Amino acid sequence: MKTPVKPTKEGISLSLYVQPGASKSAWAGLHDASLKLRIAARPIDGEANKEVCAYLAKFFGVPKTSVQIVHGATGRNKIVTIMGDTDELIRKAEQLQRSADD
């Protein structure tokens, strides 16, 4: 089974499915092999991508500059890297993934 979370040398890589234009930004379980994230911002002028990065930075407790969309900037399926303590980031992501599986 594919996992949406992969460790990297500098942190983790997340596979996300992003739903822009939601009533509020929040995690929404799994979508195929990706974590689903609803974002309140509309996909206009990169606003949804900015909110994705800000939401992930706050959730994982890292600076906004530590979050980068590396693939899928113009689509719903995104690969995002989060730089920081790999073990701590994986621990938070696994808690999120377990709650999504419930």
State pTM to two decimals.
Answer: 0.92
By the 8 A CB rule, do 17 and 90 touch?
no
- How would residue 2 be classed by pLDDT, with cut points 50, 70 and 90? confident
Q: What is the pLDDT of residue 96?
A: 80
| Integer Cα distance of 16 and 52 in angstroms | 10
Tokens of 88: 């701590």
Confidence of residue 98 (pLDDT cuts 50, 70, 90): confident
Looking at the structure, give the CATH architecture of the domain made up of residues 5-101. Answer: 2-Layer Sandwich (3.30)
User: Would you state the pLDDT for residue 102?
Assistant: 56
How would DSSP label each residue in the chain? ---SEEE-SSEEEEEEEEEES-SS-EEEEEETTEEEEEESS-SSTTHHHHHHHHHHHHHHT--GGGEEEEE-TTSSEEEEEEES-HHHHHHHHHHHHHHHH-
Per-domain residue ranges of the chain? 5-101
What are the tens digits of pLDDT across the range 53-96? Answer: 999 999 999 999 999 999 999 999 999 999 999 999 999 998 88
Say how many residues make up the chain. Answer: 102
